[in-house]
Amino acid sequence: MTRPARDKALILLVEDDPDDVELTLRAFKKTESPNPVRVARDGAEAIAFLFAEGAEPPGLILLDIHLPKVDGLEVLRRIRSDDRTRFIPVVALTSSREEKDLIKSYRLGVNSYIRKPVNFADFAAAMRHLSLYWLSLNEPPPEA
């Protein structure tokens, strides 16, 4: 399982709301992000994708906290407890600012927590900053 070059690294978007999926994809397209985006529509799909045999590990995971079937916090816990995915940066991307969600997310090892802005221009700017920061500025740990 090797990691592709970082500017081609996959972004995994875990999001159940189709409007949010489309708007997030649009934001990445508008900011001319070179990274392919893969969408998982719920927590179970995200886990199935991440832990499939020979799966390409994403360079960044954008995770909604409130998901059907397996919720985002459980997905986060699974990501952090498996050696294959332990170090992948995970950004909680959610509309909740509820304190208990924030605390649980950080306790489970989320790297960042973003409350989706209502205004699309602000949202697109947030997506651009996010992918730039985690996929080019930030140095990931060396591959094990």
Residues that bind another protein (CB under 8 A): 17, 19-20, 23, 26, 95-98, 116-121, 123
Rank residues 18 and 34 by Cβ distance to another protein and give the closer one: 18
Shortest distance, position 101 Cβ to another protein, whole Å: 10
Rank residues 17 and 45 by Cβ distance to another protein and give the closer one: 17
Shortest distance, position 132 Cβ to another protein, whole Å: 21
Do the Cβ atoms of 90 and 40 come closer than 8 Å? no
Shortest distance, position 1 Cβ to another protein, whole Å: 35
Do the Cβ atoms of 63 and 72 come closer than 8 Å? yes
CA 115 to chain centre: 13
Beta-bridge partner residues of 62: 13, 91
Shortest distance, position 121 Cβ to another protein, whole Å: 7
For residue 24, which of 46, 47, 40 has the smallest C-alpha distance? 40
- Amino acid found at 31: T
